[in-house]
Chain A
Amino acid sequence: MAQSPNRAPGLVSRYGADTAFMTFVAALMAFLYIPIWVLIAFSFNDSRSLTWPLSGFTLDWYVKLASNGDLLAAIRNSFYVATGATILTLCVGVPAALALHKVNFPGKTVFRRLILLPITLPGIVTGISMLNMFKLIGFPLSLETVILGHATALLGVVVTQVYARLQRLPKSLEEAAFDLGASPWRSFVDITLPNIRTAIVGAGMLSFVLSFDEIPVTFFLTGRDNTLPMYIYSTLRRGVTPEINAVGTIIVLLSLVLIVVSVVSTRDTKQK
């Protein structure tokens, strides 16, 4: 009882702070998510013009989308490029990170910075320089050149993520594996790999997403084929169509699936 006069002001101010904080969080979430809800809403709206209020529900845009050959091809191309670029960049990036972690050589720091450069360079520079190179060696532009370009630009993401994880792994883990009779290869497979798996998965997903909506590098390096962002960009001259909103909605859905997959696949190494 004697305490309550002291406690009351504290409670009030804490309640005030809590409310302010919650308001801030709500505002932030609204800022992040309202545009997405608008996009989803308009993809089901039965009017071509993007004006409020919504006029009625329809699935027409999804049906239209399903019969738009160019759009479907663009989606297919985007998946092909993002998958190819992710696999390629992982195949090069993971061993590079391991080498960086394991081997000490003169100029290691310089090498680490160099490998990071493509991600910090604007895509336009990477795009132009790779275009020059392909022209120089007479390599015809195609989706494959886009894959090469993306993989180069994304290498920094994979190397930094995996390298950072390796650095956090206690050196004694690998030594303990050796101590228990495991050869270097066996210890890599049994001990190192499981402990960097989540970093590899995470870097792979990030690469996939970054490659999926990349425009500048793609712009310079693609041949006749278009990726989805390029296609959307080219149709924008005629204004945003509800069809594009429908594509956007599907991508949001796929992203959700990706998030669930990443949460599930990275969960089990953590403490239950």
Chain B
Amino acid sequence: MAAIIELENISKHYSPTIIGVDNVSLTVEDGEFVTLLGPSGCGKSTLLRMIGGFETPTHGTIRLADKDVTWDPPYKREVNMVFQDYALFPHMTVGENVGYGLKVKGLGRLEIETKVHDALKLVGLFDKVKLRPQQLSGGQRQRIALARAIVREPKVLLLDEPLSALDAKLREQMQIEMKHLHEKVGITFVMVTHDQTEALVMSDRVVVMEKGRIAQQGRPQELYDHPASPYVANFIGTTNFLPGRVIRCTGERAEIEIGGGRLSAIVDAPLVAGSTVTAGCRPEKVRLLAEGETAENVLEGRVAEVIYYGLGLRLAVELADGSRVYTDSLLPDRLALSPVPPLGQSLRLAVEPHNVFVFEGEVTP
């Protein structure tokens, strides 16, 4: 695979104090679906808009298909963008909207009609060709915006929070639909979102951003299972954070003393005995132990809260030192409801050592 977008030490300083993007280097492969993920204000849109040509970086180089486009205006770049508010032209019909980019390109009327037809077919809205955007629903407008961008067959499609204006149900459906569209058209997608589920569901690679920098990037599963920092662990999925101290570390195995007990963990890099660390584990990797059952990392506590969320149960278990550990369990069928423990009951929890993350230092997420 060849690189289609290369960002080299890109920075964008809006003013000496407002830094939108801070020294980011990123390569996107041809045909990839990459997502820029992060909370509001972390610089995702700024980065995307620099690829599109709507902002110019204060430092760094942007290459598209091996061509330096850092200073090219948007109309000279072979990328197209789906805007957060869709930006459909209100004075044009759906057909004219989708065909506008082709008309500007100077294609003939017949060719434009065929391509518009195909693009609208692709998003399943051909019957709306004569309507105005104002007459469509949010989801339909979103699809028109997609059709208008891909009809020009760009090298890269940029999407700025494309699904954020849709309601939850439609959003879930569009996530899958857009993933299929990506596979079908074979164009590189770069999407911005603050929704971690969306990022995990849709992309080949997720780039997590923090305050204008890249915090971590990788395949969705890598990020979920091996978050490089508490920030990432907290932003993608839910994590229990337990402050502690390293007792000893031999090879890849570390013993951590936490307020409510002891944990052993598998670590990538050796830790210094006595240093302050924070252990982390995902609620769904924490298991309830049956009576008499033994396991490696056992924590004891009392049920402080029971949260029912349809798919399963989340228990908040209070350890001896008052810290809380969340544990998720699925409810495979209705019978499983019967053993819901009452508040205050003593419980034993277990978590496998390879499911324990250890971050150096103290964390207040």
Contacts and interface: CB of A to CB of B under 8 A. Distances in A.
A177 B83 CA distance: 11
A175 B75 contact: no
Nearest to B132: A271
Contacts of A190: 100
B91 A180 contact: no
A78 to B, nearest CB: 34
Contacts of B52: 179
B152 interface: yes
Given A269-B90, A271-B134, A181 B152 contact: yes
Nearest to A268: B91
Given A181-B104, A181-B105, A176 B87 contact: yes
Given A175-B54, A272-B132, A195 B81 contact: no
Nearest to B152: A180
Q: Chain B contact residues (Cβ within 8 angstroms of A): what range?
A: 20 to 34
B80 to A, nearest CB: 6
Contacts of A179: 52, 74-75, 79-81, 149
Interface string B84-99: 1101111100000000
A141 interface: no
B282 interface: no
B45 to A, nearest CB: 12
A128 B126 CA distance: 63
B237 interface: no
A193 B52 CA distance: 24
Nearest to A190: B100
Contacts of A206: none
Nearest to A172: B87
Nearest to A176: B87
B75 A176 contact: no
B250 interface: no
Contacts of B88: 176
Interface in B32-88: 52-54, 73-75, 79-81, 83-85, 87-88
B128 to A, nearest CB: 14
A182 B152 CA distance: 13
Interface string A55-84: 000000000000000000000000000000
A24 interface: no
B81 A176 contact: yes
Interface in B240-282: none
Nearest to B79: A179
Contacts of B148: 180
A170 interface: yes
Given A175-B74, A176-B81, A181 B101 contact: yes
Contacts of B89: 173, 176-177, 191
Contacts of B346: none
A197 B355 CA distance: 63
A186 interface: yes
Interface string A163-198: 000000010110111111111001000110011000
Given A172-B85, A176-B81, A271-B134, A182 B91 contact: no
A195 B91 contact: yes
B238 interface: no
Given A176-B87, A191-B89, A183 B75 contact: yes
A188 to B, nearest CB: 13
B221 interface: no
30 contacts: A170-B85, A172-B83, A172-B85, A172-B87, A173-B89, A175-B54, A175-B74, A175-B87, A176-B83, A176-B87, A177-B100, A178-B73, A179-B75, A179-B80, A179-B149, A180-B75, A180-B100, A180-B104, A180-B148, A181-B75, A181-B104, A182-B75, A182-B100, A183-B75, A194-B91, A195-B90, A269-B90, A269-B91, A271-B134, A271-B135
Given A178-B53, A178-B75, 8 more contacts: A170-B87, A173-B87, A176-B88, A179-B75, A180-B100, A180-B101, A182-B75, A182-B100
